[in-house]
Structure 1
Amino acid sequence: MKQALENIESRMAQSAIKSGRKPEDVTLIAVSKTYPVEAIEQAYALGCKDFGENKVQELMSKIENIQNPIEWHLIGHLQRNKVKYVVGHVSLIHSVDSLRLAKEIQKESLKKDVVTSILLEVNVAKEESKHGIYMDEVLELVHEISKMSHVRLKGFMTVAPYTQNPEENRSIFRLLYNLSVDIQKQNIDNISTSILSMGMSNDYEIAIEEGATHVRIGTALFGTRDYNR
């Protein structure tokens, strides 16, 4: 794992510099879904501080079993009936894809007296198999979230199509970056678009070149997943 992490960090740094930024401007989120607690602790010991989980049940189990002060990210689809488990336990929810979900997060955050940081998940490529709102729906939802007292929009997330040639996703990442810039210029109260969560194991270098601030990497770091575990 040490060699894999060094390789990823080196490539991330090169891509950041290529995009005119510093390597420390880009955060690696180690996507630990399906991997055991021991793998997370090993990655933490090597310097990883941010970990992403897809499923609420698995996330909560790992939070209970790991003592290290990890920055947890929920990156998978979140159902409204599971919001109560997540609020107060994660640094960032990447996958907010409706006003109803945002309202539920507001309700639970108010109840627990915490402010919850979120990203809007944008389905830039309009893939029917993916969650997320479309580009033309973003601004209206941003305005609604800006009125919420205990929810803070920090930016956007997208899951680009899986492709053998990561260059094919460059335009997807660029569209989301341009949208984030356009919305930031509007200076909407309680709204920031400083975080762009985009890019995974197969295309994170292209994503960083196009403005990603957070990349979500699992298999390139931990190895092939065992879904039967």
Structure 2
Amino acid sequence: MHQNIADRLIDISSKIQNSCYQAQRAEDEIKLVAVSKLQSVEVIKEAYSLGINNFGENYAQELAEKSSTCPNNIIWHFIGPIQSNKTSLIAKHAQWVHSIDREKVAMKLNNALELEGKKIHALIQVNIDREESKSGIFPEETIDFANKVIAHYPNLILKGLMFMPQINASKKAKIETMNKIVHLHKSLLSELPSCTELSLGTSSDFEESIFNGSTILRIGESLLGKRS
């Protein structure tokens, strides 16, 4: 069993490389985001020293605290549910947001970004399996919502979609979900060619997600170790 970040990074990088080779994709199409929620600043700095430059946080206050003390060229991804009263913190400290899931959040984040004088790369979170316990818009609303974001919220640079498939689903159910995701993303791309990003892979399925077009992998404990 791997005991440190360096060894785990070698192992994960090898699996990414192998999956890209088999899927006939270029490795530089894949962005690895280290999910650093509840990890210490020391862990983040160690991972950064190994060449990891993209980190994902789930809580706005934690993002703000870490971005203020970590190297200033880290690219921060906000990947958790967005509370409308936390949009100012996200606007100030993140460069990417993966979890736009309703118009109220898009509006508040756009307004907060206006005050900051900046823009942010944004992904729409889709609740692909219509799970009551998860955030995200429904698949049939996705394209209309994407057009609305582009038309009305110019500080959100819409780049694509984010999904959180069921972790404990059967293999058959996971395949069906992946097929639905691929179809929806292709439909979006046919209308909005700039929405090329697909934030899909996690620790449990990142190899499979590469075969299904994922461009952003969100990997936490299997890379950075157990959370404190």
Q: Same fold (TM over 0.5)?
A: yes
Q: Which position in structure 2 is the counterpart of 1:90?
A: 94
- The question of whether the paired residues in 2 share the 8 Å contact of 1:170 and 1:207 is answered with no
Aligned partner of 2:187 in structure 1 is: 182
Q: Is the 1:94–1:119 contact (alpha carbons within 8 Å) kept by the matching residues of 2?
A: yes
Corresponding residue for residue 51 of structure 2: 47
Report matched runs for 1:107-118 at 5 Å: 107-118=111-122
Counting only pairs closer than 5 Å after superposition, residues 94-133 of structure 1 correspond to structure 2 as 94-133=98-137
Q: Unpaired segments of 5 or more residues in structure 1?
A: none
Deviations 1:20-64 (A, max 9, x none): 211121111000111100100111111101000000011111011
Kept in 2, the 8 Å contact 1:181–1:193? The answer is no
Q: After superposition, what is the alpha-carbon deviation per residue over 1:90-114, rounded to whole angstroms, capped at 9, x for unaligned?
A: 1210001001111111111222221
Could you say what the CA RMSD is over the residues aligned between the two structures, in angstroms?
1.6
Which residue number corresponds to residue 5 of structure 1? 9
How far did 1:165 drift? 6.0
Counterpart in the other structure of 2:209: 207
- 3-state SS in 2 of match to 1:12: helix
Q: Does 1:73 align with 2:70?
A: no
CA distance in 1 between counterparts of 2:112 and 2:183 reads 32
Q: Matches of 2:200 and 2:123 in 1, distance apart?
A: 11
Q: 1:219 to 1:168 in 2, by over 3 A?
A: farther
SS of equivalent residue, structure 1 residue 192: coil
Q: Please state whether the residue corresponding to 1:185 is helix, strand or coil.
A: helix
Q: Distance in 1 between matches of 2:103 and 2:77?
A: 20
Cα distance in 1, alignment partners of residues 173 and 48 from structure 2: 32
The answer to whether the 8 A contact 2:63-2:93 is kept is no
Paired residue type of 1:31: V
Aligned to 2:191, the other structure's residue is in SS state coil
Asked if 1 retains the 8 angstrom alpha-carbon contact of 2:121 and 2:159, the reply is yes
Sequence identity, in percent?
A: 31
Matched, 1:157 2:162: yes
Q: What is the match of residue 219 of structure 1? A: 221
Q: Which amino acid aligns with 2:199?
A: S
TM superposition score normalised by structure 1: 0.92
1:199 aligned counterpart, secondary structure: strand
TM-score normalised by length of structure 2: 0.92
Distance 1:215 1:168 in 2: 20
Residue 68 of structure 1 deviates from its aligned partner by 4.3
Deviation of residue 137 (structure 1)? 1.1
Secondary structure, aligned partner of 1:52: strand
Q: Name the SS of the counterpart of 2:195 in structure 1.
A: strand
SS at 1:154's partner residue? strand
Report the Cα distance in structure 1 between the residues aligned to 2:46 and 2:172, rounded to whole angstroms: 32
Checking the alignment, whether the CA contact within 8 Å between 1:88 and 1:116 is kept in structure 2 is: no
Which protein has the bigger helix share?
2
User: What amino acid is aligned across from residue 57 of structure 1 in structure 2?
Assistant: Q
Deviates most, 66-75 or 50-59: 66-75
Partners of 2:80 and 2:154 lie apart in 1 by 24
Give the match's secondary structure for 1:78. Answer: coil
